[in-house]
Structures are given as C-alpha cells and as structure tokens.
C-alpha cells in the first residue's frame, strides 16, 4: 500500500521568501508522486509530477520538487513566494489497479499562507 505524510499542516511565509512544503512517502514499489494545489472554492490543479525519470521535477509557476529515495521524501519548493500562492497543497501518490485504472492517495494537506 502507498501513503504520503505531509509534515506541516500550516506554513506561513513572507512574500518574496522561499517556500518549503514537506512530504514523505511510503510505497512498496517505485512510486509516482505528485503535488496538487487547491485554491479556495476551486478544483484541484496538478502542479508537478515525478514518474521515475529525473529526480528534480519542475512544475508550473516556478514550483519544484526533488525525489529523494534515500530519505523517502518529495518536498515542494519555490524560491520566492507570491501572494497568489496562498492555497492548500496536497502531496499525492498513485496506485494502479489490476486490470487498469488508477487511484490517487492524498496527504492531509498543507495550508500555505503568504504574508506581506
């Protein structure tokens, strides 16, 4: 079974400072990992994905995540926070069903607050 643990439920940063959202994963095989963002009253948007290619993954809006197998981590970073980054962020691992189809297992989320 696959699972993810988001280490911080809330993160607060100042605009223009770096963002770090932490995620550890557990998987019995090489996982596919994702970060999704959810703005208030909006649907989930895929930020970036890791699928066993390059360990440093670049996503939209300047977000990056690095897959570290030795640490079972997949932390999300952004060099400089913008006010528009304030949202809920989910670390996600995918699983595959026999016969096809896939299922996403979400972490509990990290609420990012960006202050002036």
Partner 1 sequence: DAGVTQSPTHLIKTRGQQVTLRCSPKSGHDTVSWYQQALGQGPQFIFQYYEEEERQRGNFPDRFSGHQFPNYSSELNVNALLLGDSALYLCASSPRQARAWELFFGEGSRLTVL
Distance in angstroms (rounded) separating the CA atoms of residues 72 and 82: 28
Q: Which phi and psi angles does 98 have, rounded to 5°? A: -60, 130
Mask: binding to partner 1, 77-96, rule CB under 8 A, as x and -? -------------x-x-x-x
Find the part of the chain contacting partner 1 (CB under 8 A) among 15-23, 68-76, 77-85, 105-113.
Answer: 105-113
Longest dimension (CA), the chain: 50
Find the part of the chain contacting partner 1 (CB under 8 A) among 12-20, 65-73, 76-84, 103-111.
Answer: 103-111
Distance in angstroms (rounded) separating the CA atoms of residues 62 and 25: 23
Distance in angstroms (rounded) separating the CA atoms of residues 23 and 101: 25
Mask: binding to partner 1, 20-59, rule CB under 8 A, as x and -? ------------x-x------xxxxxx--x-x--------
Interface residues with partner 1 (CB under 8 A)?
A: 32, 34, 41-46, 49, 51, 90, 92, 94, 96-97, 99-109
């Amino acid at each position: 079974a696959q699972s993810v643990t988001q280490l911080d439920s809330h993160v607060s940063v100042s605009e223009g400072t770096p963002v770090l959202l932490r995620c550890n994963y557990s998987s019995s095989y090489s996982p596919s990992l994702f970060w999704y963002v959810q703005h208030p009253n909006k649907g989930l948007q895929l930020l970036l994905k890791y699928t066993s290619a390059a360990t440093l993954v670049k996503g939209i809006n300047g977000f990056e995540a690095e897959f570290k197998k030795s640490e079972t981590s997949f932390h999300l970073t952004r060099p400089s926070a913008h006010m528009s980054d304030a949202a809920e962020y989910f670390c996600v691992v995918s699983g595959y069903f026999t016969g096809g189809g896939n299922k996403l297992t979400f972490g509990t989320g990290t609420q990012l607050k960006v202050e002036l």
